[in-house]
Amino acid sequence: MFSRHHRKARLLFGLSDIVLTALAFEAAYQTRILLPIERDFYLTVHMKALLLAIATVAMLLTGYWLEVYDRLDSAHARVILRDTFRQVAVGSIVLVLFEFTLRLDLSRAFLLLFSIYGWVFLCVFRWKSGSLVGVIRREFGVPHYVMVVGTGESARRIGSLLEQSAKYGVRVSGFFSVEPGQEESIDLTRRYPVHAVTALPDLLRHQIIDEIIFAVDARLLPSLEELFLLCDEEGVRTNVAVAFFPHVNSSVYLDRLGPAPLLTFSAAPNDEVLLFLKRATDVVLAGAALILLSPVMAAIAILVRLTSPGPVIFRQIRCGLNGRRFICYKFRSMCADAEEQKAALEHLNPRETVFKLRNDPRLTPLGRLLRKFSIDEWPQLWNVVKGEMSLVGPRPAVPEEVEKYKRWQRRRLRMRPGLTCLWAINGRDSLDFETWMKLDMQYIDAWSLSLDLKIILRTIPHVLLGKGAH
């Protein structure tokens, strides 16, 4: 499916959730009134509107957070039931917390009915959503006719992907051959005609063509310049399949440098708006955490000074975004000459790239406790405020480790380092270095604000329980 069609589907599901949540809310309210329960239940118009708004917003945000809308158009019934249950459960919990915060006295039967109605309504709609999307597209839209330039393996793969988007109104009209002597038809789920590229001007005059995808060898693109110009003059949208570029981890988009168009490959998140929101969130949350934790941090600083000789704050050079070096701050958890002892302990290190001992003899008794609950890393909140780190991102490495990285591992430097990361909630120090790197790559490739929120929320219990720390 084209990404623009995917965005339309997400919008449809989001709007449907608003309507269905409102219906579930009203159905629950009316059912509760009719139930033969001694205690009367009544909501004023203003309170009812407020609660409905909270419930709707909670349901929408939960849906986006759990990425429910990304799977609905192709999900199995079991996935729909599971995702909808999780979404309704979280939305209902938010409503209960809101009631508790404002000290409201909502009927428990009403809250239970709202959860049940919400789950049933959403499940029924989503179960039928695939056919519904097709009906909406058929009744309120028009078919979108696409032709593919090329007859090779790449062109056939594009054709198959287009066929899978049929329920969104996408229709494959045929293929164009760029070399003489090509076959007259291509068989996928059905047979499609193959036209010579010289027939394109005539087809544009006599046939509906909404979009053309060029899926040919890169060496042939210069010879097709006239076709691109023709499509541009006719106003036909054109796409170039870029599978022949060796950028397997990159997203591809068109950028501009003044009037010059640039085809850009990015192997790291590049949405400036979302990255700005991530940075703004970092500053607000890290700043608030520093203020709230300052009395505790002051007490820890005193304990560090009293329990072992040496500075309170340990400063170390780390590698940040794109290899930029910065001073990383931590509460000192080791003896003052820990760096000088490192060489003598190298033979005990079980890892090849990073230096990490399970029972490091350099740790002080207090430091061992600080490490277990990651309290020693609290000063890095200042690194976050300064912009050298983020709340979530690959952990910052020392330059000596980066020098030992394999080529594919260096891509982790393309994301601002963070206080917590994906591997911190999936085993922490018990994981091997290779798994660390793979999880960092997985985070970079799948990054979103909702993923950051999930990692933060899952980090809290891991830290409080000291899971996986050595």
Listed by start position, the domains of the chain span 3-135, 142-244, 272-465
User: Considering only CA atoms, which of 322, 335, 349 is closest in space to residue 417?
Assistant: 322
Strand partners, 318: 326
CA distance to 138, 206, 218, 442, per residue, from 469 (Å): 56, 69, 50, 22
With a cut of 50, list the residues of the chain below it in pLDDT: 1, 139-140
Residue-level pLDDT at 139: 45
User: H or E stretch including 157?
Assistant: helix 153-164
pTM equals: 0.64
Q: Strands across the sheet with 170-177, in order?
A: 185-187, 191-196, 170-177, 144-149, 211-214, 237-240
Q: Which helix (H) or strand (E) holds 328?
A: strand 325-331
Percentage of the chain beyond pLDDT 90 is 30
The 10 Å Cβ neighbour count of residue 395 is 19
Three-class SS state of 261? strand
Pull the structure tokens for residue 296: 């505790």
pLDDT at residue number 399: 92
SS3 314: strand
Report pLDDT for 305: 92
Q: What is the pLDDT of residues 93-145, one digit of tens each?
A: 888 888 888 777 788 888 899 999 999 999 888 877 655 555 555 544 567 88
d(CA 395, CA 440): 9
Q: Which residue has the tokens 């720390």?
A: 469
pLDDT of residue 140: 46
Positive or negative, the CA dihedral 270, 382, 467, 367 is: positive
Based on DSSP, count helices (H) and strands (E) in the chain, helices before strands.
15, 12
Number of CB atoms found within 10 A of residue 255's CB:
11
Task: Record the tokens describing residue 372, joined without a space.
Answer: 């277990």
The CATH number of domain 142-244 is 3.40.50.720: yes
